[in-house]
Amino acid sequence: MRGFFPSGLILLLILSFAAFGQTKNSLYIPINIQKAYQNGTRSWNGRPGAQYWQNHSQYTIQARFDPSTNLLQGHEKVVYFNESPDTLKTLYMRLYQDLFKKGNLRDWPVSPEDIHNGVKILSLKINGTPRKAAKKESSINTYRTNLAIPLKDQPLLPGQKVTLELDYTLHIPRKSPLRMGTYDSTSFFIGYWYPQMAVYDDIDGWDRFAYSGLQEFYNDFSDYDVKITVPKNFVVWATGRLQNAGEVFKPQIVQRYQSVFNTNDIVHIITQKDVEQKSITAANDSNTFHFKAQHVPDFAFATSDHYVWDATHLKVCPKRDVLIGAAYKYGAGHFDQVAEIARKSIAYYSTEMPAVPFPYASLTVFNGGGGMEYPMMVNEGAPIQWESTVHVTSHEICHTYFPFMMGINERKYAWMDEGWATMLPFELQHREAPGYDPVARTIRRYLQMAGTEYDVPMIVPTIMYGSNARMSYRNASYNRPGIAYYLLEQMIGRKKFVKIMQEYIKRWQGKHPGPFDFFFTVNDVLGEDLSWFWKPWFYGFGYPDLALQKKNESGKKMTVEVLKKGLLPVPVKLTILYQDSSRKVIEKPMSIWKDGKSEIELQIAKQKPILEIKLGDAHIPDLQEANNVLDIGKK
């Protein structure tokens, strides 16, 4: 009897091997990542695998902050759930403020005044049993910014949970506002302040990279119940929704706070007059602000005794009306318009790009310094230029989607969040700041480094960059990926691009996608392998460079050649300027290079005398522009 396979099984095998062969052979995949696909936690079509898992935590924290000494005291209970198939013999927590610990390595300069002896763990209990730090294999120990907690003879089995309770103290930096810190004598933005469970994932196991000040973060999704006590007159803004406004504010402030959802106007919850009269908080020596947040990757807060507070709201879907606020020093830059910029940003992301409803119940932009994102919070300076205010505000709010909503590992793949926060708001930024061209700005910045030995491919893990590579870090995290994403959108069109973004978010929201999950999702949705694009732009050393040359001329036709001299593909745009000052534009998509050709020929009809033919424009990166112009009619 001749063997046979059912036709459906044959088709399944063919499709399986085709998908495996295409993805595995077209892009280099590191061994540690290959194992995840082999184990079934990730799929070759870009979806989470049938065996996908991730761990999570529940935090209950009581903190007291003293602005006069910058001392923060905390009591924390964290329940950690092991959803992995592995037995965990050691737990790891982050002590990020040990960045300032005497003797620790740093990739960022800090003031000597902020150097201290590290976060003090005053007590630790594991499932109710006290554990002391000591020089024993079974005791807790710290290395740089990591706290290792061996579980001795009671390892954490798959499907089990463990409860940790800690008491700790730390000092908030005064002179080194690295993403957080002190912004005037009584205004503070406080992030990375509590002992936080490290990520244990299906790619690397425990994330034990130390925080050096340059790279950013990677967190699991957790629930937070946090109470923060501060002296009278101090207000706290934080991740989550405030649970006890009536207990901490005077009645008129509560009334304004509650009125935000009843109007489309900006509500001035705290005014400068309130600040001057000190008629804001309840008449206690101290007040405790209570916040709750679910399924978020981190928790941050800010506090001040002299900031005004504007607020508005936006209903992004039937079940979510977002509270949007700006807390700032009266008169600071354009901050009196930041609440409105934030509202427009959230509307843009919710309905236009990526057209996914804003996922959180609140968002507060706090007047601190620079620009740094946190779940539901933004730490932002007060730029003098209007376009800078629009740019920073919209950029930081975009991070709500990447990395927070999507659980991106910023430590390894900063381009998977900073690149999106660079590209996605391009249209919004241009719209809200007329005359500002964020695309051209990003291209100019990219070309300053393109083609140099410091132009490192994005696929190189971000954690590999050190203090001497800050420019490489920024280029590979912001500028080059931002332009790569923009060129992808230009090639496939806005409609398809939005569809891809929505599918990518649908598949990986609340999870931990890596580069190949993104690459494979795009390939899957488009129905074609874009390795010809992924390899040069994300993997390769190289730069974009097109050149233009005249090939021949016959009668009423002229043939020109566009040469692809650089390794990175870009679209082709020819502008023909006629002697009567009229123009004609010929465009070819970036995909014209996908078959590996290094030149293309274009025919130009000479219906009237030509003055000049120019290749490219400000929205197409080209390192050598000197070879982009043909002077036809000039003498």
Instruction: Please name the residues in contact with 8: beta carbons below 8 A apart, sequence gap of 6 or more.
Output: none
- For residue 240, the 8-state DSSP code is S
DSSP run (H or E) holding 160: none
Paired residues of 181 in beta bridges: 189
Instruction: In whole angstroms, give the CA distance from residue 323 to residue 428.
Output: 21
3-state secondary structure 460-484: CCHHHCCHHHHHHHHHHHHHHHHHH
Q: What percent of the chain has pLDDT over 90?
A: 90
Q: List residues bridging with 78 in a β-sheet.
A: 59, 164
Express each pLDDT in 547-562 by its tens digit. 999 888 887 899 999 9
Query: 546-631 adopts what CATH topology?
Result: Immunoglobulin-like (2.60.40)
**Residue range 585-611: average pLDDT?**
94
Q: Are 182 and 174 in contact (CB under 8 A)?
A: yes
d(CA 504, CA 371): 26
Show the CA angle centred on residue 446, arms to residues 443 and 447, nearest 5°. Answer: 85
pTM: 0.94
CB of 576 closer than 8 Å to CB of 633: no
Q: Whose structure tokens read 């020929």?
A: 601
Percent of the chain with pLDDT over 70: 95
Listing DSSP states for 305-364 in one string gives: SSEEEEEEEEEEETTEEEEEEEEEETT-TTGGGHHHHHHHHHHHHHHTSS-----SSEEE
pLDDT of residue 132: 75
3-state secondary structure of 510: coil
Edge-to-edge strand order for the sheet containing 196-197?
A: 141-143, 146-150, 90-94, 196-197
pLDDT value, residue 138:
55
The full set of domain ranges for the chain reads 230-315+334-360+367-405, 438-539, 546-631
Calculate mean pLDDT across residues 599-623. Answer: 94
| Residue range 262-319, pLDDT digits in tens | 999 999 999 999 999 999 999 999 999 999 999 999 999 999 999 999 999 999 999 9
Residue of 393, 574, 520 whose CA lies nearest to 20: 520
